Amino acid sequence: MINIYVLGFNQALASAITGVVDLFALAGVTWNRIQQQDTAMAFHVQLASEQGKNIQCINGLQLAAHCSFSDVESIIEKQCSKLTPETNILIVPTIGGPIQQAFNNNPALIRLLNKANIVGWTIAGNCTGNFLLAEAGILDGKSATTHWGFETEFKQRYPQINLQAEQLITRDENIFCAGGGIAWFDLGLHIIERSVDFETAMQTAKAFVIDYRRDSQLSYSLMRIAKPHQDELVHSIQEMIEQDCTISLSIDELAIQNNVSQRTLIRRFNNALGVPPNTYLQSVRIERARKMLEESDYNVDTVMNKVGYEDSSSFRRLFKKKTGVTPTEYRTRFSRRL
């Protein structure tokens, strides 16, 4: 039996705890019941907390713990003396409250992550829960992901970590990370596949009626390109693009119009927005295309023309690069149903 310990803490996202517990506890159970076969639980799942206290989730829901962090530490210490240790996995759910407050309130959880990492336990974090893994130092020099909306903060806090925020799931040695608040089911299915087998993971996905093998956050993230800044030149060009994103931007013409060199223009855009003018225009166009695909009945070619593109293959290639899916796939996933 594989042991799963979900590390609960106050202001965690409730669904990232209860959902993970359900997913692992019912792997090998729900599908078998549907098929009228004998059930075969693959995991023993427990919710742990500091001193075994109830957990007050961010939505006000209280969850009762099965065991304490100290109990899990005792298992780590006993395992060190065994020649054939059991398989043990720690799951860190999403932080629902302020990040720094989670650090301040959970030193025992951070110490537990370090101890489990030293003995080689599998450790998995979901969404902003990966900040706790990073704060423990166990992601240093490793690849990781987190919710796309916290990419900038994560990079600022932990430049030593190879953040791949576009990825939904990352794995580096014994550590797994998932991005997005509800990505716990992607994380759980991935662990089920690696810990048991692919068939059990697929059966669990079918039983829960959820998609398996999503691999990117790009189609869910906003084009976070209009960052606040004080450069009036860049502001004026942004306003021009906002009024008509179908315009053709010539760096040479823009530089002449604004009485600056091409090099200066590109530098000021990079300083203000992190991208050059043409890349900014592309991002605005793709963002407009996304909104049209979500909200209108225009076909893909009409959307393409309305945002300033004429070559269908180029538009589709760029759209997939920016969002991770084709325009048709994006519409299927995000268009209004009613």
Q: Are 57 and 13 in contact (CB under 8 A)?
A: yes
Phi, psi of 138 (to 5 degrees): -85, -5
**What span, in angstroms and rounded, lies between the C-alpha atoms of 234 and 226?**
11
Query: Which of 147, 123, 151, 126 lies closest to 137, judged by CA?
Result: 123
Residue 97 CB partners (closer than 8 Å, separation 6+)? 10, 11, 58
Residue 81 has pLDDT above 80, yes or no: no
Q: Which of 92-101, 184-193, 217-226 is the most confident on average?
A: 92-101
pTM of the predicted model over 0.85: no
Q: Are 169 and 190 in contact (CB under 8 A)?
A: yes
**CA distances, 167 to each of 180, 217, 219 (Å):** 10, 6, 11
- What percent of the chain is predicted at pLDDT more than 90? 57
Q: What is the signed CA dihedral for 265, 247, 336, 127, rounded to 10 degrees?
A: -10
2-208 has which fold?
Answer: Rossmann fold (3.40.50)
Q: Determine the average pLDDT of the residues in 74-81.
A: 80
229: number of Cβ within 10 Å: 15
Q: Looking at domain 232-334, what is its CATH homologous superfamily? A: Homeodomain-like (1.10.10.60)
**What span, in angstroms and rounded, lies between the C-alpha atoms of 177 and 148?**
13
Computed over every residue of the chain, the mean pLDDT equals 89
| DSSP type of residue 196 | T
**What span, in angstroms and rounded, lies between the C-alpha atoms of 222 and 79?**
45
Give residue 83's pLDDT. 45
Domain ranges in the chain are 2-208, 232-334
In a 3-state reduction of DSSP, which class is residue 191? helix
